[in-house]
Chain A
């Protein structure tokens, strides 16, 4: 890497400490990341929009405030961040990866956006994603695929591939994702980064463009567990603008991450979910996760096997519930109030149909049609109704498992990153990526993906699942595992990401 690459390789916690002690200015930190984006994003394509001026102006405000002796607005004030392009931003375009919203400037900020600003975090820009968060590879973005920094011929995961790739390419130390069926955790696993899906209702959905409202959840992405915790505390907590927001204090995740890093997990019970492994899981992925279990045992944890028999129906239930909600939510894109209008036809209905045909990509259309089918009279009970019952059974499986284990673990995804183009024309093969992450969304519980090692040179994620509002124990285990793994491996996994082609090492 050219220039001063120490700034872009630091953790968010390190950057914040140096900015707050005035050893570094927020502007020089932002400048270093903008320079890195200019250098590598032509290859990676993590960003759909880079807000250079706004980012530098925001950083300058943080510097001026700190120089005047004011206390930092938050523990992350002055640290840059990449925001998934599904959260509305009043000063940047918001597309959700769709042509139907090309160039749209929202008239309001999402709660997540406004909390980031209030915390003094510098928003560098908006990241690429599968259209309306439907996909597991970013290949369904209307604006081109994002490339995995570990191997640019491979996918970075999805839907939040841009947010994950930005971290792994050192374009940002922090990013925000959304997780409907794994869209934070699976990209984290594919890119050797950390991604957290909070408890449903833990992070406000106000201003988050809806995919499936009962499943969508925004959350933090970072290169370390502590950085994710610091960001979690900035964006999380009750929001009266979201009717499903949980009105209780946020779990103390930063404290949990710091406690965990000291490493002792004595007395903690770790459940291995029998149904999330074995057939369909790449042997190299399984081997890395088995090694992670031995690591957890060395830290004092007791490893037990648990069975969640209905998890095998999770994928089927999810691909009925999600398209049903999608078919309803995406009805708002009607060519009348905002977004694209294709003036083909005389009536509003014809214009609407022509606009949606031109503005939506194939995966969005497939899911709208599937959801319309599942909700049709005559099919409702057999499909949507039955899927909702399976959802109950999956939540009960979790409840039983959490009686005998404090956290559950599994591979985050069944395989490592696959080549771009390999699954894009086979929807069912693409859906299988989320087989281990979906149960958590259906139950509304919390889970995270932590880098666990490499299989054939590509990163593998360990998924750690906890009960609703059980983030503290999850962060504690994640931080303990991360510290032990890094100590054994001689450093963090992300330090082993190769140099990008065409970019000076």
Chain B
């Protein structure tokens, strides 16, 4: 995707784009969902693109309602979760560690 495809051209979002975004977001969506979401997201994007109507070039962005700065605490030990607690909700655990599928696919 490039800036040339941006909302200034008033184009919507295609089914292929939705499929690409779903892959990026690790969602194994079905064909039926793609059909449904592409249409719905097109309508939603058409509506939220209104933010572009506001002249705001010289306006600073707000990411947080309360001005944020780093918050520090004294560097003192305090109890955290035990290993048992941390693993209690894991789908699979072994030898006190999370057991996960292989990280890389066959081709890697």
Contact = CB atoms under 8 A, between A and B. Distances in A.
Contacts of A386: 51-52, 54, 56
Interface string B67-89: 01001010000000100011011
A171 B31 CA distance: 43
Contacts of A369: 18, 21-22, 25, 27, 37, 41
B98 A337 contact: yes
A230 B33 CA distance: 46
B27 A428 contact: no
Interface of A: 104-108, 200-201, 214, 240, 243-244, 246, 310, 313, 315-317, 319-320, 327, 331, 334-341, 343-354, 356-357, 360, 362, 365-366, 368-370, 372-373, 376-379, 382-383, 385-393, 395, 427-428, 431, 442-445, 468
A351 B56 contact: no
A216 to B, nearest CB: 11
Given A243-B71, A365-B29, A372-B24, A389 B56 contact: yes
Given A353-B28, A356-B27, A369-B41, A382 B52 contact: yes
A389 B61 contact: yes
Contact of A382 (B7, B27, B59, B64): B7
Given A316-B47, A319-B48, A389 B59 contact: yes
Given A214-B64, A382-B52, 18 more contacts: A106-B89, A108-B81, A214-B63, A316-B48, A336-B91, A338-B89, A347-B101, A348-B102, A356-B25, A356-B26, A356-B27, A366-B44, A379-B6, A382-B6, A389-B56, A427-B43, A444-B66, A468-B66
10 contacts: A244-B66, A316-B51, A336-B91, A344-B28, A353-B23, A365-B37, A379-B7, A382-B8, A386-B54, A393-B54
Contacts of A340: 91
A344 B101 CA distance: 10
A107 B51 contact: no
A383 B101 contact: no
**Interface hub of B3, B30, B64 (most chain A Cβ within 10 A):** B64
A369 to B, nearest CB: 5
Contacts of A427: 40, 43-44
A107 B68 contact: no
B106 A346 contact: yes
A392 B51 contact: no
Contacts of B41: 366, 369-370, 373
B27 A385 contact: no
B54 A348 contact: no
B7 A360 contact: no
A351 B48 CA distance: 33
A22 to B, nearest CB: 38
A378 B6 contact: yes
Contacts of A315: 47-48
A468 B3 CA distance: 38
Contacts of A383: 7, 48-49, 51
A445 B68 CA distance: 15
Given A349-B105, A352-B26, A200 B66 contact: yes
Given A354-B28, A356-B28, A376 B52 contact: no
Given A350-B105, A389-B59, A244 B68 contact: yes
Nearest to B104: A347
**Interface hub of B3, B18, B56 (most chain A Cβ within 10 A):** B56
A444 B65 CA distance: 5
A245 to B, nearest CB: 9
B2 A378 contact: yes
Contact of A372 (B21, B44, B61, B65): B21
Contacts of B23: 353
B50 A316 contact: yes
A107 B89 contact: yes
B63 to A, nearest CB: 6
